[in-house]
Structure 1
């Protein structure tokens, strides 16, 4: 079974659209009771977000500034907490000398200078 077959099964086929968050600089609206746990679980007000499409939506408006992470729109900017990394690799496929990755945010990318791979240890 190929990566594209698995992507189709998971509903990950096709490019993931991302709003131009790098162009948005609204003032800080405040702190949101949301945390992305180190195991990749997104939690809002103590409850895990179980709808994958909602996680993907939030991932598409996630922005990092300095050491902080924010969910941004053209008019709002909410700080959230991230325990380790905001997105985890769910699928890996070797294509020749390259590695193609799919994240839990639905992004498909090739490891390289634009997308370096950073590994973290999860609970030993």
Structure 2
């Protein structure tokens, strides 16, 4: 895997190119027997733990994140061609920690950097969706194959600020466009 660049210094076109160049293992093609529990947990704040202790090496977290898969029953596993181990996930396995935005209105493009360093551009395959209530919204970004990132509160505030600035003065839902797709920022829409 290529080293992660400094996303604050990149254009969205450069981020998209980096995103396309990433080669992730084909975990959806691996179907070994379940071997047990990894004794790992991903906390709601995105911290990865092994046997109750935080994993302090970002490179290890990044490596493990590439072999993470969500099963049809909603559980999560770490999978290789030879092993499949359960992993506990408190909320979403990833956290969207930074936002890059270019353009405005329907021409806007939104790119996020996850806590693992992975770039994800909001589009038809990587939708932003809201859960929770109006009082306690919980924004998520689809990452890949059923895996989601909770959008960190400061990043959600950035999104809300942009959406309020561009709002159509009460004529429709509050939300944002990215790559030609509109994403409402209100739960239940």
How high is the TM-score relative to the length of structure 2?
0.56
The equivalences for 1:45-124 within 5 A come to 45-65=51-71, 66-96=73-103, 97-118=108-129, 119=139
Normalized per residue, the structure richer in helix is 2
Q: Which runs of 5+ in 2 are unaligned?
A: 1-5, 11-17, 130-138, 140-149, 153-189
Confirm or deny that 1:18 pairs with 2:18.
no
Q: How many angstroms does 1:4 deviate by? A: 4.3
How high is the TM-score relative to the length of structure 1?
0.83
Contact 1:90/1:101, CA 8 A, preserved across alignment: yes
Q: How many angstroms does 1:3 deviate by? A: 3.1
Q: In structure 2, which of residues 4, 7, 29 is the aligned counterpart of residue 3 of structure 1?
A: 7
Q: Higher relative contact order at CA 8 Å, sep ≥6: structure 1 or structure 2?
A: 1
Contact 1:35/1:42, CA 8 A, preserved across alignment: yes
Q: Which runs of 5+ in 1 are unaligned?
A: 7-13
Q: How many angstroms does 1:116 deviate by? A: 1.4
Q: How many angstroms does 1:36 deviate by? A: 0.1
Change over 3 Å in CA distance of 1:61–1:121 after alignment to 2: closer
Confirm or deny that 1:32 pairs with 2:38.
yes
Q: How many angstroms does 1:32 deviate by? A: 1.8
Contact 1:17/1:60, CA 8 A, preserved across alignment: no
- Give me the whole-angstrom Cα distance separating, in 2, the residues matched to 1:24 and 1:106: 24
Contact 2:101/2:111, CA 8 A, preserved across alignment: yes
Computing the radius of gyration from Cα coordinates, the structure with the larger value is: 2
How many positions carry a matched residue from both structures?
114
